[in-house]
Amino acid sequence: MLVYPSGLDLSTSALRLLRRELAAWRRRIGTRWRRLTCGRQALMTLAHLRCSHTFAELAAGFGVGLATAHRYVTEAVDVLAVLAPTLQQAMAVAARKAFVILDGTLLPIDRIAADRPFYSGKHRKHGMNVQVLTDLFGKLIWASLALAGAVHDIRAARSHGLLDALNTGGVRCWADKAYQGSGPAVRVPFRGRWNKLSAGKKAVNRAHAKIRALGEQAMATLKSWRLLRKLRCSTTRITDLVKAVLTLELTAST
């Protein structure tokens, strides 16, 4: 395999964060020697997450075996995932905001037609449903566990305890029509055909859509990590990958 120099469109703060956490992890488990330093392991992981490089490509580029590349990346992702904010921590942050925006996104996966639980009828593709909470500027606050793509957004939000947390805490939240009936804290647009809505309801829906559009920035931020655009790993690993990306976005950007 040919090897060539490349670059990552990330700040050095992401590399420093992961290198520091890996060094602390190695001290905790008593690691004496590794083929790659913490910095090189961190760089390998960022290349995998950001550019979706395969383990074979990473192994060739970093001069290690295929199994070693897989083990190093998996370890680094796990280290990052545990740093992601919990729902309780996210609610503490959301309570200080004027309002938050809730939306769901589908992370495409490589599955066949027979894998019906992962098929989203709305998006007409196989994937994993992830609920995302952002602030009024579209900055990420929290991301949920990844559920099968066939799960509806409101059902997913309920299963994570997100709707109960929003309503109990009185956190004002804007969401789309998929979250009808979520409770008093969650504001959704008026339902019905556009030509049958009153002028007042149309104006409300326009304003609502402008607010929710800011939440799309968070989705774009998530999928700027190219690995999340088409996942080819086990579905049991997707939650940790999302949490790892969330940690990098929240911590490395501060």
Using one digit for the tens of pLDDT, what is the confidence trace for 21-52? 999 999 999 988 899 999 999 999 999 999 99
Neighbours of 167 (CB within 10 A): 15
Runs of H (alpha helix) within 171-214: 199-213
pLDDT of residue 113: 63
- What are the pLDDT digits (tens) for 192-231? 888 888 899 899 989 988 888 888 888 888 999 999 999 9
Write the CB contacts of 111 (distance below 8 Å, at least 6 apart in sequence).
Answer: 118, 119, 126
Average pLDDT over residues 6-23: 93
Phi-psi label, residue 247: left if phi above 0, alpha if psi -120 to 50, beta otherwise: alpha
- Closest to 181 measured CA to CA, from 218, 219, 154, 156: 154
Q: CB-side exposure of 78: number of CA atoms within 13 Å?
A: 9
Between CA 80 and CA 193 the distance in angstroms is: 45
Token pair in block for residue 200: 């007042």
Determine the pLDDT at residue 254.
Answer: 53
Q: At 51, is the secondary structure helix, strand, or coil?
A: helix
CA Rg, the chain, in Å? Answer: 20
Residue 123's pLDDT is 80
- Other Cβ atoms closer than 10 A to 60: 16
Choose among 204, 202, 235: nearest CA to 129. Answer: 235
Q: Which of 14, 8, 44, 10 is nearest to 247 (CA)?
A: 14
For residue 62, pLDDT beyond 80: yes
Which residue in this structure is represented by tokens 């007409």? 124
Asked whether the predicted pLDDT for residue 114 surpasses 70, the reply is no
Closest-CA residue to 173 (of 67, 94, 233): 94
Say yes or no to pLDDT of 118 above 90. Answer: no
pLDDT tens digit sequence for 148-204: 999 999 999 999 999 999 999 999 999 999 999 999 999 999 888 888 888 998 999
Tokens of 191: 């339902």
Q: Which amino acid is at 165?
A: A
